[in-house]
Amino acid sequence: MKTLETKRLILRPFKIEDLDDFYEYAKVEGVGEKAGWKHHTSITESNIILQEFISKDDVYAIEYKENGKVIGSVGLHVINNNPLERELGYVLSKDYHNQGVMSEATKEVIRYCFEELGLDKLWCMHFEENLISKRIILKNGFKFNHIFMKDIEALDYKRFKVYAYYMDKDIYASRLD
């Protein structure tokens, strides 16, 4: 994926040297869980996931310019076997929450999706109780589409109410009016 840049961030593909930074935020309990995965309990686990990020090339590392650390990720996962339909997912190190970092990162990634990648549709979902993610989704101009129940395997099949939103070219264009 093409490297992107914002005021405070570089959004770039993950590399193997990011392992320590990745493990540092992925091991914190209660962060990944909000995005549907269990916090990591070993660096080996983070290494396996990191290799996946690198080989699939569908997740951006968020590098914080000020200190060069990787502090989170923004995923653009292909869905319905259609490269022009993707799902946006994101996680940020707890140390950087509530400073507008993910608003800044997602705004640029969404711009890239519609102005450069030419996506037809971008989906984004949150668990019912995740009001911070809901705020980011709405602030970015996504439209609510539907609600569904899902048993999340990675969280011991716990059942969640999931809210689904989407953006398409028209919605993206109307945000700029």
Ligand X SMILES: CC(C)(COP(=O)(O)OP(=O)(O)OC[C@H]1O[C@@H](n2cnc3c(N)ncnc32)[C@H](O)[C@@H]1OP(=O)(O)O)[C@@H](O)C(=O)NCCC(=O)NCCS
What residues make contact with ligand X under the rule CB under 6 A? 31, 34-35, 90-92, 97-103, 126, 130-133, 135-136, 139
Nearer to ligand X, 56 or 139 (CB): 139
Nearer to ligand X, 29 or 118 (CB): 29
Nearer to ligand X, 30 or 170 (CB): 30
Least distance (Å) between residue 151 CB and ligand X: 17
Contact 72, 96 (CB under 8 A): yes
CA proximity to 46, closest of 70, 26, 28: 26
Least distance (Å) between residue 21 CB and ligand X: 15
Least distance (Å) between residue 109 CB and ligand X: 12
Least distance (Å) between residue 139 CB and ligand X: 6
Nearer to ligand X, 107 or 118 (CB): 107
* Contact residues for 1 (Cβ-Cβ < 8 A; gap 6+): 12, 13, 57, 58, 60, 76
CA distance to 82, 98, 146, per residue, from 171 (Å): 19, 26, 17
Interatomic CA distance for residues 138 and 129, integer angstroms: 15
> Which backbone phi and psi does 37 adopt, to 5 degrees?
-135, 150
Three-class DSSP category at 62: strand
Nearer to ligand X, 112 or 170 (CB): 112
Least distance (Å) between residue 138 CB and ligand X: 9
Interatomic CA distance for residues 60 and 92, integer angstroms: 12
The two three-digit tokens of residue 82, written as one number: 């259609």
